[in-house]
Amino acid sequence: MTHNKPEVIKDMTNGDIAADTYNNYKRDVEMMRELGLDAYRFSLSWARLLPDGFTNNVNEAGVTFYNNYIDEMIKYNIQPMVTLYHWDLPQKLQELGGFVNPLFTDWFEDYARLAFERFGDRVKFWITFNEPREICYEGYGAATKAPILNATAVGTYLCAKNLVIAHAKAYHAYVKDFKPNQNGQCGITISVNWFGPATDSEEDHIMAELRRQAEWGLYAEPIFSQQGGFPKELSERVAEKSAKQGYASSRMPSFTDEERDLVRGSFDFFGVNHYTAFLASAAKEHKTYYPVPSPYDDSDSSTYTPDDWPKSASGWLKLAPNSIFDAFTFLRNKYGDIDFYVTENGWSTSPTAGLIDDDRVRYYRAALNSLLDAREAGVNIKGYMAWSLMDNFEWMEGITERFGLYEVDFEDPARSRTPRKSAFVYKHIIKNRYIDSDYKPESLTMTIDDGL
């Protein structure tokens, strides 16, 4: 997509080299050691391992790269947490329909098996998919991410069904054929921002619940709920609306009993990418543009964020009060006492903001305080991953938004990395297991501390 339609990327950059971990992986592991990390989450590129998407053609150079990268982490006691799919589908599979082809579920299982076989002796944390909402709604529904298909809610719901089945097939393959020897865990990562009611009215509470179902319940409910399947109230609304709109059957597909049972309970942990919060209401003045029909249009809800919440460099990301606490206590009450990992959480600055990123420092302190509140309330959050170690190619925004604890110089062919102030504060928090709101680094010179 970035080659054929470069104009869809804000600054016309692409991911060919990006931050170039391929050539800098030793430096990246050195940065993990500088910070004192004991785990690091990264993704495998399906196309790097299987250029045509299928297992008949394995790119051994890609396997070697990941082996070296994983070995370098293990050497320094850093646990790799590996995502199988973080949005880069082999082009040939896209040409066959990608996620909306029901055979996708088998293609994904085959790819997952290859990854378990090649890397599972050292990788003990597997995540099947990163963020189903962004894959299905943004990719197949709203045309705001690859493959930029505007197939509205029909595409979103079809993708959602195939995605959770693909996840479940990979999960069961792991449990049956790999876990007995490899002793790892397998889960999925869903983006769960908090959606609370704009007012205390009954209507706004209903809207907030419908919005949660449309944003992430669509993907979480089939896997984590007791009953399985898509969220009840949203499904009923879509069926009703589809009939009124003249569709012969609901735009939202249903699960057979066998599919429902396959997907329900297919997890060892729930990975959550959490960034912010929104307020939901029925008020039409808040209504932003959604392609119609879309899950949001189907939910009849609209959302907004208060003007006084601090803004990042990304339009969708503001610092919302205590949103980790609200999201995780809700998830625990809904899905029970399961293991959670925060697999992403972070803040963006502009490319010219430089190394003194006090707004990122403020965000991490607030987020981690909120996480501690959730743990104190009994939520089983077993791990936390900041997004991100370093600046990256940020999808449709190219390199115009920077999320790194380390700045990457994209003008430099070597892509040199330099720690920001937030890296020093983050390191201090991890080392002391304490969020010191007065801590100021004496200098911005980074070292690897003994024992880290």
Q: Is 273 in the site for ligand LWIWXZAE (CB under 6 A)?
A: yes
User: Which position among 247, 304, 330, 395 is part of the footprint of ligand LWIWXZAE (CB under 6 A)?
Assistant: 395
Q: Is 235 in the site for ligand LWIWXZAE (CB under 6 A)?
A: no
Mask of contacts with ligand LWIWXZAE, 287-326, x by CB under 6 A? -----------------------------x----------
CB 343 to ligand LWIWXZAE: min, Å: 8
Cα 32 to Cα 41: distance, rounded to the nearest angstrom = 11
Catalytic (active site) residue 376: no
Catalytic residue among 138, 221, 344, 407: 344
* Chain centre to alpha carbon of residue 226: 23
**What DSSP designation does 345 have?**
-
Contact in structure between 389 and 406 (CB atoms under 8 Å): yes
H or E element that contains 175: helix 152-177
Tell me whether residue 34 or residue 401 sits nearer to ligand LWIWXZAE (CB atom).
401
Tell me the residue number closest to ligand LWIWXZAE, measured at CB.
Answer: 316
Tell me whether residue 173 or residue 361 sits nearer to ligand LWIWXZAE (CB atom).
361
Contact in structure between 446 and 34 (CB atoms under 8 Å): yes
Q: Is 40 in the site for ligand LWIWXZAE (CB under 6 A)?
A: no
Mask of contacts with ligand LWIWXZAE, 189-228, x by CB under 6 A? --x-x-----------------------------------
Residue 366: CB atoms within 10 Å: 20
CB 182 to ligand LWIWXZAE: min, Å: 26
Catalytic residue among 131, 134, 394, 401: 131
Tokens in use for 431? 């080392």
Cα 234 to Cα 211: distance, rounded to the nearest angstrom = 9
CA distances from 425 to 122, 324, 357, 361, 395 (A): 30, 20, 11, 7, 27
Residue that the structure tokens 């196309």 belong to: 47
Q: How many CA atoms lie within 13 A of 76 on its CB side?
A: 27
CB 388 to ligand LWIWXZAE: min, Å: 7
**What DSSP designation does 395 have?**
G
CB 77 to ligand LWIWXZAE: min, Å: 26
Catalytic (active site) residue 401: no
Residues 6+ apart with CB under 8 A from 55: 110, 111, 113, 114
Footprint of ligand LWIWXZAE on this chain (CB under 6 A)?
130-131, 134, 191, 193, 273, 275, 316, 344, 387, 394-395, 403
- Active-site residue numbers? 131, 344
